[in-house]
Structure 1
Amino acid sequence: MCLSIPSKVVAIDTERNIAKVDTMGVIREAGLELMEEDAVKIGDYVLLHIGFVMNKISEEDALASIDTYKEILEIMDKEERERTILEDDNCPNRGA
């Protein structure tokens, strides 16, 4: 199963059409090609999949999800926790 941790948009590069996002302290870049032009703004919360912003979510929903992830992460060991955060948007495509 694939789960996407909400990420906060901290910068947008319109020339490269990418957003720089903060996923629980991990900064990464995500393509904006799948979003309508100007749909994503700095401060928005978004969900990523395989390196692309897939959609925006409300701040309320994002923060509730992040709180749930934090509870889950507390149960994991350090290595598993870091891998989960770093690889959250790299879900392998599974055939049906």
Structure 2
Amino acid sequence: MCLAIPAEVVAVHDDGENATISLDGVKKDISLALVEGVKPGDYVLVHVGYALNVVSREEAEATLALMAEYEATEAAQ
């Protein structure tokens, strides 16, 4: 099973093919080769260094909250 994680785009590089994302303050450069029209402030699903899709802020926040809840549950066991 593969997992794509939602992350906020903080910058789109001048080439338009790459961007910098931020997830919990960790920044990483990713490829935008599979999506179009991404701009800073958008949320994208990221898998192995590629943005797969643009998602709403609400969807991204809900997914991240579920992931944090799962992590907390696993840590408590």
Q: Quick check: TM above 0.5?
A: yes
Q: 2:54 corresponds to which residue?
A: 56
TM-aligned CA deviation for residue 56 of structure 1: 0.3
Q: CA contact under 8 A between 2:22 and 2:28: conserved in structure 1?
A: yes
> Please, what TM-score do these two structures have when normalized by structure 2?
0.84
Q: How many pairs does the alignment contain? A: 75
Q: 2:72 corresponds to which residue?
A: 74
Structure 2 residue matching 1:6: 3-state secondary structure: strand
TM-aligned CA deviation for residue 35 of structure 1: 1.5
Distance 2:33 2:16 in 1: 10
Q: 2:12 corresponds to which residue?
A: 12
> Please, what TM-score do these two structures have when normalized by structure 1?
0.69
Alignment gaps of 5+ in structure 2? none
Q: 1:94 corresponds to which residue?
A: none
Deviating above 3 A after TM superposition, structure 1's stretches of 4 or more consecutive aligned residues are none
Distance 1:25 1:72 in 2: 20
Q: CA contact under 8 A between 1:5 and 1:69: conserved in structure 2?
A: no
RMSD: 1.6
Greater relative contact order, per chain length (Cα 8 Å cut-off, separation 6+): 1
Alignment gaps of 5+ in structure 1? 78-96
The percent identity for this pair of structures is 39
